A and B are shown apart, each in its own frame.
Chain A
């Protein structure tokens, strides 16, 4: 163990300057008005945007759940493959992430459009056209597509550590597939699950470009709302900060829930 704590000082300076100070500024603006006097008005004004907050939370929860359901079996299969194949499959999963995020979302726009590739393909069989883009479903799709790797990677990492003999032991003792999953796999990969949930939920709830491109601008999310405060007409950075603060509280709540969960699970296992 390295005792010398001074090695950490660059990081401490970094996080103070670029995390703690901006955070303090956000909190300061959230509770002051344009003249710098203390006020709760900004927080109370958020009340009229409840529906936007609710929509953001719901869409982010759905996206996270879909990611989890898709990623869990995939990660398990990955972790059981031969080593050479694992690295190839991992690369395939990472491959889309080498491309720019905006570009990927833009590509979905051309796929989902009324005259897009999907509708044109279905049109060959006389089906459709379907209204795919500019719906909340398209927004969820965009979130899942963009953030799925963040769910797969932590799950995969933790599952490679699960000893196959543990699973075999459970099977020898008469556990069916379902029991193996619920009693062995899920508890043992709980850390990965919680990390994955946080890593997908947090960017999903704060995204704004996905909803603009795939939601047609009518599925307003918290991110859009905050952007509107800073780059809209009124340039109300106090209200914008209050919204950011609210968003941070939501994220904190989610994280406290998931981290507490994993500790309990560890204690149990």
Chain B
């Protein structure tokens, strides 16, 4: 889901090229039955908005997917990237951009669909959806009738740890390792309310989608307990901190974890026994898209087997595309973290859309978690009062002295 680090992505690409020997296609093979050239003379520009470093972009001898699409269809693509679901949402909500194709994650798709921000897709223009996308990734809770989205990639949240600093036996404690006093000051945590509360929810044996404000409060209590052992709340700084041995344990996304393991052989990962968050990023068309049919053509193109294969080889996330999975290099396909067995997947949950009241309760609780200090912050308030008082008195006294001087 979240691809932040350019450095990481380059390393990833390098690793994949070495291991899989990714072939560079001169020309993509597409299904004959689909008319990709019908807009060739219409001078159309498609605005595509995707996660950063989340497509095969032609670097390091991979296939340049966007260029292939342009060459095939005669449609120009204006490809831009975002870094969080929330910034994508804020941009669309404020009317800041006219996009034709966007690739948000599960809960954000649900939220946008609820608010009428997405167009219903015409699946007759996207035949590859029925042909290739695995049934397990269809009709998810965020889009129960699968009207708005076509899955692009998926993945899991795992625990990454440094084998030189963590006892192998502790990995059986699941998420509990992130609360373990033994590793106080060496634990990193998500700096993102939704992800942090998901872990706390799983810890408490509940769901990662809190159903009431009380559940949010309970998770917030759990997170406050954790605070004394947490070294820092981070997102992409995790690459540096885990890579450099600055921290011992951290939760993160499997795809990025694989990148980190390539950089630092001391790192390993495991999937917590309690189950984890499975996320799906899917392609959607926002309301008001100017070229809906061309956008559907782009989505269909992204689901062409060779294109999907090129993408998954380039970015190392898990693919919902059945034919691409078949063709994938065995080493990647058998990776237990990228494609875990069905028993484990049954324990995983996607994030669903939360009602507004729970979202704002979560944000408020999150900022109180982050500004919470178990060792006492109480002195700060009186200190400020004293400082302000002193300033005021100083001002008065000075004025009084000056007045007296002037009177002389």
Contacts and interface: CB of A to CB of B under 8 A. Distances in A.
Do A and B come from the same complex?
A: yes
Interface of A: 48-52, 54-55, 57-58, 61, 109-110, 113-116, 131, 133-134, 212-213, 216-218, 220, 224-225, 228-236, 264, 268
B360 A216 contact: no
B405 to A, nearest CB: 9
Nearest to A215: B232
Nearest to B107: A233
Contacts of B87: 231
Interface residues of B, number: 41
Contact of A233 (B193, B231, B240, B246): B193
Contact of A228 (B185, B231, B232, B366): B366
A23 B30 CA distance: 52
29 contacts: A49-B371, A51-B381, A54-B380, A54-B381, A55-B371, A109-B237, A110-B244, A113-B246, A114-B185, A115-B245, A133-B232, A213-B237, A216-B230, A216-B231, A216-B233, A218-B230, A218-B370, A225-B367, A230-B86, A230-B90, A231-B84, A232-B193, A233-B86, A233-B194, A233-B362, A233-B366, A234-B360, A234-B362, A236-B360
A251 to B, nearest CB: 16
B191 interface: yes
Contacts of A217: 191, 232-234, 370
Nearest to A133: B232
Contacts of B89: 235
Given A110-B240, A115-B245, A218-B233, A235 B371 contact: no
B367 A49 contact: yes
Nearest to A45: B364
B402 interface: yes
A266 B84 CA distance: 51
B380 A216 contact: no
Q: Which of A58, A220, A236, A268 has the most CB of B within 10 A?
A: A220
Contacts of B346: none
A229 B362 CA distance: 11
B227 interface: yes
A134 B247 CA distance: 13
B402 to A, nearest CB: 7
B189 to A, nearest CB: 8
Given A216-B232, A220-B367, A234 B402 contact: no
B53 to A, nearest CB: 18
A131 B185 CA distance: 9
B383 interface: yes
Interface string B394-405: 000000001000
Contacts of A116: 246
Q: Which 9 A-B pairs have the closest CB atoms?
A: A217-B233, A216-B232, A234-B359, A234-B360, A220-B371, A231-B86, A233-B359, A217-B191, A220-B370
A51 B380 contact: yes
A58 B366 contact: no
Contact of B86 (A52, A58, A232): A232
Interface string B337-366: 000000000000000001010011011101
B358 to A, nearest CB: 9
B363 A233 contact: yes
B26 interface: no
Interface in B109-138: none
Interface string B64-87: 000000000000000000001011
A233 B245 CA distance: 31
Interface centre among A48, A58, A234 (most CB of B within 10 A): A234
Contacts of A212: 191
A183 to B, nearest CB: 13
Interface in B201-241: 227, 230-234, 237, 240-241
